[in-house]
Amino acid sequence: MRKIALITGATSGIGEATSHLFAENGINIIIAGRREERLSVLKNKLENKNVQVLALCFDVCDEAQVKNALSNLPDEWKNIDILVNNAGLAAGLNTIQEGDISDWNRMIDTNIKGLLYVTRHISPGMTKRKRGHIVNIGSIAGKEVYANGNVYCATKHAVDALTKGMRIDLLPHNVRVTQICPGAVETEFSIVRFRGDKSRADKVYEGYENLIAADIADCVWFAVSRPEHVNINDMLVMPTAQATGTLFNKTTS
């Protein structure tokens, strides 16, 4: 029987690339995000790869929406084998003393509380069935802290801690828990961070070869396709030209 995966943040970047790779490997997928039109286009593309797709439009920050979407799944979609907690964002890049409190709330609500809400609704099915795999998308920002990254880094450090906590709590239930921590991946991430300022976003990726979303999708697929007795705990995946959150080997400045 085909496995079922739920991928949050499937409308763009890493989540979208992971959805394609899962479909190519015969996984039926629940794709989730807030942008309905994108979900519908992606659903069609994935169905052309001969898998079943369910599109769920909800905001991970809104616990009522998460509950409504995930507690009313059709029977054939209830037994989720793989949860990829990918939805996330950075908002702004500011010192703590100049930080925008609404940016802080968005990052905390999405990257921490959203991940928790989705996990809380999906993990009981996994513990009941005594199988499942949760993959959290962390970041280099969850391993170190860089200037002006304060709250985003804190949210990704929280993902790091939650991944470890989940692994301990789910241990008796045979549920695997993995964290994938990317360095710089060119997606819509920086466009969102800089509120649609595309030229500022483009500069983040200038002068070196950044990762692309498919590189991270490969890592997610590697983790979930290991034999059942193997758990990939944590993968920190950087561009060859990036050593730390902020140190790059750039050919141009």
In this chain, which stretch among 19-27, 55-63, 138-146, 229-237 interacts with ligand 8X3, using CB under 6 A? Answer: 138-146
Pick 59 or 103: Cβ nearer ligand NDP: 59
| Spatial CB neighbours of 13, under 8 Å, sequence gap ≥ 6 | 185, 187, 188, 189, 213
Nearest approach, Cβ of 58 to ligand 8X3 (angstroms)? 23
Tell me the number of residues near ligand 8X3 by CB under 6 A: 6
145 binds, among ligand 8X3, ligand NDP, none (CB under 5 to 8 A by kind): none
Q: Which residue has the tokens 């949210």?
A: 155
Q: Which residue has the tokens 């590697």?
A: 222
For residues 115 and 134, what is the distance between their CA atoms, to the nearest angstrom?
Answer: 11
Longest dimension (CA), the chain: 54
Tally of residues, the chain: 253
Q: How many CA atoms lie within 13 A of 114 on its CB side?
A: 29
Binding mask 191-230 for ligand NDP (x = CB under 6 A): -x--------------------x-----------------
Q: Which of residues 154-193 bind ligand 8X3 (CB under 6 A)?
A: 184
Give the nearest residue (CB) to ligand 8X3: 139
The sign of the torsion formed by the CA atoms of 164, 126, 46, 68 equals: negative
- Contact status: 126 vs ligand 8X3 (CB under 6 A): no
12 binds, among ligand 8X3, ligand NDP, none (CB under 5 to 8 A by kind): ligand NDP
Nearest approach, Cβ of 80 to ligand NDP (angstroms)? 17
Pick 11 or 139: Cβ nearer ligand 8X3: 139
The DSSP annotation for 49-80 comes to TT--EEEEE--TT-HHHHHHHHTT--GGG---
Q: Which residue has the tokens 């391993």?
A: 143
Tell me the number of residues near ligand NDP by CB under 6 A: 31
Contact present, 220 and 248 (Cβ < 8 Å): no
Q: Which of residues 219-248 bind ligand 8X3 (CB under 6 A)?
A: 245
Tokens of 207: 């002068």
Main-chain phi, psi angles of 26, to 5 degrees: 80, 20
Nearest approach, Cβ of 196 to ligand NDP (angstroms)? 12
Nearest approach, Cβ of 202 to ligand NDP (angstroms)? 13
What residues are annotated to the active site? Answer: 152
| Pairing state between β 132-137 and 82-85 | parallel
For residues 236 and 153, what is the distance between their CA atoms, to the nearest angstrom?
Answer: 15
Nearest approach, Cβ of 142 to ligand 8X3 (angstroms)? 8
Residues in contact with ligand 8X3 by the rule CB under 6 A: 139-141, 149, 184, 245
Residues in contact with ligand NDP by the rule CB under 6 A: 8-15, 33-35, 38, 59-61, 86-89, 110, 114, 137, 139, 182, 184-185, 187-189, 192, 213
